[in-house]
């Protein structure tokens, strides 16, 4: 809601399978990934996506309530790490640094 309200085009996916299809259809300017998702976690998804040169450049923000998540995010093109519950102003500030609406 906050991203759309700030002028961003947002596509949502309920799991990594749907996210993968969406990325293949049209590469996004940024990924905002929940760490806990069905089929594979957000870290695994971004690592797999990074195996393809065409998608390696996409900046990623990870969302999680885990303490150790920040360590796992290193090396995965992470530009942000937001702990749950997500504060809209914090998320919007990170997105604005990397993507224009």
Q: Is 68 exposed, middle or buried (0-12, 13-18, 19+ CB in 10 A)?
A: exposed
pLDDT tens digits, one per residue of 82-101: 888 999 999 999 999 999 88
pTM confidence score: 0.89
Block residue for tokens 């796992």 = 72
pLDDT tens digits, one per residue of 24-78: 999 999 999 998 888 899 999 999 999 999 999 999 999 987 766 666 777 788 8
Other beta carbons within 10 Å of 11 = 11
CA angle 43, 44, 50 (to 5 degrees): 90
């Amino acid at each position: 809601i906050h991203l759309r309200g700030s002028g961003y085009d947002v596509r949502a996916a309920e799991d990594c399978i749907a996210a993968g299809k969406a990325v293949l259809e049209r590469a996004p300017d940024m990924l905002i990934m929940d760490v806990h998702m069905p089929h594979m976690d957000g870290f695994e998804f971004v690592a797999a996506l990074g195996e393809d040169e065409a998608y390696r450049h996409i900046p990623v923000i990870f969302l999680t309530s885990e303490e150790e998540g920040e360590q796992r995010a290193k090396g995965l093109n992470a530009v942000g790490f937001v702990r749950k519950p997500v504060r809209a102003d914090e998320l919007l500030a990170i997105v604005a640094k990397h993507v224009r609406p």
